[in-house]
Amino acid sequence: MAPPRKRTICMQMLRDQMPKELICKNLTKKYAGTPTALDHVSFTTSSSKGIFALIGRNGAGKTTLTRILATELAPSSGTASINGLDILDDTNELRERMAILPQESRAVAWLTPRQTIYSYLLYRGFDRAESAKRAKNMLERLGMSKYSDTLNRYLSGGLKRKTMIAAILSSDADILFVDEPTTGLDPLSRAELWDVLKEFKKDHFIFLTTHYLEEAEMLADKLCILEKGKTVAMGDIDMLRNKMGYQYSVSIFDKNAKVKPLVGKTVTGHNGKKQIFTTRDEANRLAKDLIEKEKKFSINPVSLDDIFFYLVKKPISEGDEEKGDDYDY
Amino acid sequence: MTTKRRNVFSQLYASILINAIYAMKNYPITLLNTLLAPLSILIVITLISKGTLLGVSIEGALMASMVASGMSIQGDLSHLKNDFKLQDMVVSSPTSSAVYMLGMAISEVIYSLPAFIVLTILAALFIHTTVTGYFILLTVIVLMFIFSISLGFIISTFSTDVMQNWAFSGILSTLLTTIPPIYYTITYIPLPFRYIAYISPTTYAAEIVQNAIGALPLSLTSLALDWAVVLGISLCLLFLAVKKSRWREV
Ligand SMILES: Nc1ncnc2c1ncn2[C@@H]1O[C@H](COP(=O)(O)OP(=O)(O)OP(=O)(O)O)[C@@H](O)[C@H]1O
Ligand SMILES: [Mg+2]
């Protein structure tokens, strides 16, 4: 039929002109018999390319949000769209363009890595020759050629995970959902995968969840902290620093040191050090003070770790109040 | 941008590879598995009946292995869905639920090929009937496969754990292939218990086939009723499987 087809093409052209964005509006999910897993999550972020990292504690709702966006799970209420395609109404078009590595996905035991990637690519609709070629290339690229034809059940946990990652990356989907891709990888493999992801993010939109904050900080163009189903903070690392209100962290090795910042918040770090989050000027002043008192200390820009702990576990009291100030993390 | 033509045959082939070919290649023991149960019941019934029920029990074994083959989709799908999260990956891909299901259905047939081949040869040798008779046998068996594969698919989309599926499998295979009179005619069952047998759709299917091969005389009304039940339940379940299955979870 001619008319609907024309309309589809028009819609397509319209979409191509729109800014590529991921828009969540009041996404809410309540599984039967449990507290709300996602609570009116709303945000907008560019989804033309780059990495969007979702971080948060166990049970914060990361996987739930990921699965809803990847059209696997229906939200209880709210809507979302990616590049102008609605997750509920334009499912087929979206599924053409997206691929997911589920958090708990495992390589099927009775397949080899080559067969795993090959069959996944067949599901993506590639013909057999193209699937075989892509599988071979990706195995080479991830340094796995040696294991291509070993049964998955004989591979180590990390290699199995890498096989699954290879499958996703070898598809031509330009929206990739990766739920904790690097869990279980050794430090070297993880670093290798980071390089691959950095390469991919140049022309893919990658929606990443991770518990490795240094990974999120290094890879992500935008970050979102989720806590108990709600977004606590969102933006690039500088925006998160601003949200926290402090740009610098002063760590004092002697936790009994009598130091009182004029501006800022004092906490006891998980390493037992006294840590002060503060502004640039105050960090300067404190540094002079600490040098005079001959105390050992270090100054760093506030890291994602600091922000995460600060926002997810609020300090009991403010550092510029009369008596300080400690909260442990 | 990805506006390429998607190859549906590739998508079907993927399921066949994962669920049949690679599995059979790596675990050859599975080749024996589908053959053993129907063949052993067939032999027992034939021995006890001193050969008189050979034709009927071959028909029964064919039907039982078709139903078992269809039912095994639920364990397989659940395993792939819950333990490997394969289904999640396929949901977020261009493969539709209908194509995924069809591929898996074909894979179950291929997986059970050893049993089908042996039983078909036995049927050709020992069941003496007309061309129409064979045609009816084939039609009913295909309908029973559609019935059991649809049922299996529906159950698998609701299950969250393979343990659950084992329980379902056990209950259903008893209800569908052990209790109903498919290896022998219903006339062997004393009357009040016959009504219990009629709970299972396989009883109606078996009656049609047994009638076609001349083992069970039936009135036209009974035959029509049998066809109505077999057709009705198979097509209803197929419709439900395609329409109501939970591809996107709620
Ligand atoms: N299928 C389900 N049925 C019921 N409750 C669920 C289900 N999946 C998740 N939940 C609940 O929803 C909440 C959010 O879970 P989710 O898996 O999204 O968290 P997460 O942030 O991914 O955690 P993790 O870091 O441990 O992976 C949790 O309280 C969890 O118990
Ligand atoms: Mg998770």
Best of A116, A124, A168 to substitute, by most chain B Cβ atoms within 10 angstroms, is A124
What is the predicted ipTM? 0.86
Decide which of A200, A220, A239 is a domain's last residue.
A239
A-chain residues within 8 Å CB-CB of B96?
Answer: 92
A-chain residues within 8 Å CB-CB of B3?
Answer: 96
Provide the 10 A C-beta neighbour count for residue B161. Answer: 11
Domains held by chain A: number: 2
Residue A314 has pLDDT above 80, yes or no: no
Kindly state whether residue A213 falls inside one of the protein's structural domains: yes
- Which B residues, 190 through 249, put their C-beta within 8 Å of a C-beta on chain A? 248-249
Residue A316: its pLDDT value, please?
Answer: 39
A211 CA distance to ligand 2 middle (Å): 9
- Residues A144 and A196 placed together within one structural domain of the fold: yes
Residue A54: its pLDDT value, please?
Answer: 97
Provide the 10 A C-beta neighbour count for residue A308. Answer: 24
- Residues A230 and A276 placed together within one structural domain of the fold: no
User: Model's pTM, two decimal places?
Assistant: 0.87
Give per-residue pLDDT as tens, B211-228. Answer: 998 889 999 999 999 999
For chains A and B, CB pairs below 8 A equal 119
Give per-residue pLDDT as tens, A62-111. Answer: 999 999 999 999 999 999 999 999 999 999 999 999 999 999 999 999 99
Decide which of A239, A264, A284 is a domain's last residue.
A239
Residue B1 has pLDDT above 50, yes or no: no
Kindly state whether residue A13 falls inside one of the protein's structural domains: no
Which ligand has its closest atom nearest to the C-alpha of A226?
A: 1
Residue B33: its pLDDT value, please?
Answer: 76
List Cβ neighbours of A112 (8 Å cut-off, separation of 6 or more). A148, A149, A150, A151, A152
Kindly state whether residue A9 falls inside one of the protein's structural domains: no
- Residues A258 and A296 placed together within one structural domain of the fold: yes
- Residues A232 and A126 placed together within one structural domain of the fold: yes
Provide the 10 A C-beta neighbour count for residue A122. Answer: 28
- Residues A182 and A229 placed together within one structural domain of the fold: yes
- Residues A148 and A263 placed together within one structural domain of the fold: no
From B111, B150, B126, select the one nearest B61 (Cα to Cα).
B126
- Residues A168 and A251 placed together within one structural domain of the fold: no
Q: Which of A28, A29, A36, A63 best tests ligand 1's pocket when mutated (most atoms within 8 Å of CB)? A: A63
- Residues A99 and A173 placed together within one structural domain of the fold: yes
Confirm or reject: Cβ of A76 under 6 Å from ligand 1.
no
Q: What's the CATH code of the domain at A54?
A: 3.40.50.300
User: Could you list the residue range(s) of the whole structural domain that residue A266 is in?
Assistant: 244-328
Decide which of A239, A260, A275 is a domain's last residue.
A239
Q: Residue A59 region, left (φ>0) first, then alpha (ψ -120 to 50), else beta? A: left
Q: What is the chain A residue with the closest CA to B100?
A: A123
Kindly state whether residue A117 falls inside one of the protein's structural domains: yes
Task: Please name the residue that has the structure tokens 């163009």.
Answer: A221
